[in-house]
């Protein structure tokens, strides 16, 4: 446990996650503490605050500690709060769950969110955990040939769950509790982002890949990319790079969306779960591209 500014920080695993205590997010936060919270997010990639019970206005205020709150396409926001998505699964809903596979939020946008905030409201009696994986720790431990293949190379991202060409089968789609625009051909548009990012402040490099939205690596076909992306994804989600969070009502999680992937566990059939999600903007992935330091490090075409 360390004391940072007015609050305490408890690191939760070797590579990712910290719990912050001794702070009431519903109260005004001094600028120095806001800066310390941004530092914590950069260092731990996902941070948790238990027992906060924020209303939506308070959640937006907390979101803006980290960056301007965003309105996202394809998922219908709350009428009263256009920056808030109601992540709800009803007790009678079958099939998939929103965020129920490894992803970084909306990485297929030209300016994906820099981070997200999840506010636990109603929880099932068991299950409904969320996992995060550190793409920074995964980069550090990635075998050198794969690092060389990825550094300086783009990956192609597509809004597959919302589009036509790659849309998931109906029985895997999340249910009626969350309103998504599906079958929208604009979501099939390909976007290129660097496969490896570098934090401009810490200099730390991180993968920026995920199986929900990435279709291939630039310069390779989908068929050529698939075994490589599968191998990298198995590496990213090794348990030592992950944290699994068991929610309690009123907990707030804030994560660095460019440094992590996350996964909502769909194991609470017959029970309802309600979370409120906001996202915030920051640097574009392109502005954070990791640049090869010597010619041999450039991705081969």
Residues in contact with ligand SIN by the rule CB under 6 A? 87, 98-99, 105, 116, 118, 130, 262, 264, 275, 277
Identified catalytic residue from 15, 86, 157, 262: 262
Active site includes 193?
Answer: no
| Least Å from the CB of residue 124 to ligand SIN | 12
Nearest distance from residue 43's CB to ligand SIN, in Å?
A: 21
Beta strand 46-49 with 260-264 is unpaired
Question: Which of 121, 157, 273, 277 is flagged as catalytic?
Answer: 277
Q: Which residues of 106-116 are buried (b: 16+ CB within 10 A; e: fewer)?
A: bbbbeebbbbb
- For residue 105, indicate whether it is catalytic: yes
Please state the closest distance from residue 147 (CB atom) to ligand SIN, in A.
28
DSSP 300: P
Q: Which residue is nearest to ligand SIN (CB)?
A: 99
Give the alpha-carbon dihedral of 110, 116, 119, 124, to 10 degrees.
Answer: 80
Q: Dig out the tokens for 176 from the structure.
A: 């009626």
- Residue ranges of the alpha helices (H) in 45-155? 56-66, 135-140, 144-150
32 to each of 37, 133, 153, how far by Cα in Å? 9, 28, 38
Token pair 């992306």 is at which residue?
A: 229
Residue 15 is a catalytic residue: no
Determine contact, residues 19/12, Cβ cutoff 8 Å: yes
The residue among 102 and 139 lying less far from ligand SIN, judged by its C-beta, is: 102
Q: Considering the complex, state which of residue 93 and residue 105 has its C-beta at the smaller distance from ligand SIN.
A: 105
Nearer to ligand SIN, 225 or 233 (CB): 233
Is 238 considered catalytic here? no
**Catalytic option among 105, 154, 193, 256:** 105
- Active-site residues: which are they? 103, 105, 262, 277
């Amino acid at each position: 446990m360390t004391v940072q500014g007015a609050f305490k920080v408890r690191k939760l695993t070797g590579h990712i996650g910290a719990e912050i205590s001794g702070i009431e997010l519903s109260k005004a936060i001094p600028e120095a503490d806001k800066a310390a919270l941004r530092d914590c997010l950069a260092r731990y990639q996902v941070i948790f605050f238990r027992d906060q019970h924020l209303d939506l206005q308070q959640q937006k205020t907390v979101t803006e500690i980290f960056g301007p709150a965003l309105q996202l396409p394809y998922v219908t926001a709350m009428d009263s709060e256009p920056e808030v998505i109601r992540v709800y699964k009803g007790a009678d809903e079958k099939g998939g769950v929103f965020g129920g596979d490894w992803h970084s939020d909306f990485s297929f946008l030209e300016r994906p969110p820099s981070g997200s905030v999840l506010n636990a409201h109603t929880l099932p009696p068991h299950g409904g955990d969320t996992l995060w994986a550190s793409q920074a720790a995964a980069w550090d431990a990635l075998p050198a040939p794969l690092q060389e293949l990825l550094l300086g190379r783009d990956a192609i991202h597509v809004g597959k769950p919302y589009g036509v060409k790659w849309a998931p089968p109906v029985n895997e789609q999340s249910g009626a509790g969350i309103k998504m625009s599906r079958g929208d051909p604009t979501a099939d548009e390909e976007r290129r982002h660097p496969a490896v990012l570098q934090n401009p402040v810490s200099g730390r490099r991180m993968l920026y890949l995920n199986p929900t939205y990435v279709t291939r690596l630039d310069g390779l076909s989908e068929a050529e990319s698939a075994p490589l992306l599968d191998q990298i994804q198995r590496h990213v989600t090794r348990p030592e790079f992950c944290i699994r969070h068991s929610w309690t009502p009123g907990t707030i999680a804030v994560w660095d969306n460019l440094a992590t992937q996350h996964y909502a566990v769909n194991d609470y059939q017959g029970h309802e779960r309600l979370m409120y999600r906001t996202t915030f903007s920051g640097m574009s992935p392109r502005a954070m591209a990791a640049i090869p330091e010597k010619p041999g490090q450039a991705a081969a075409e």
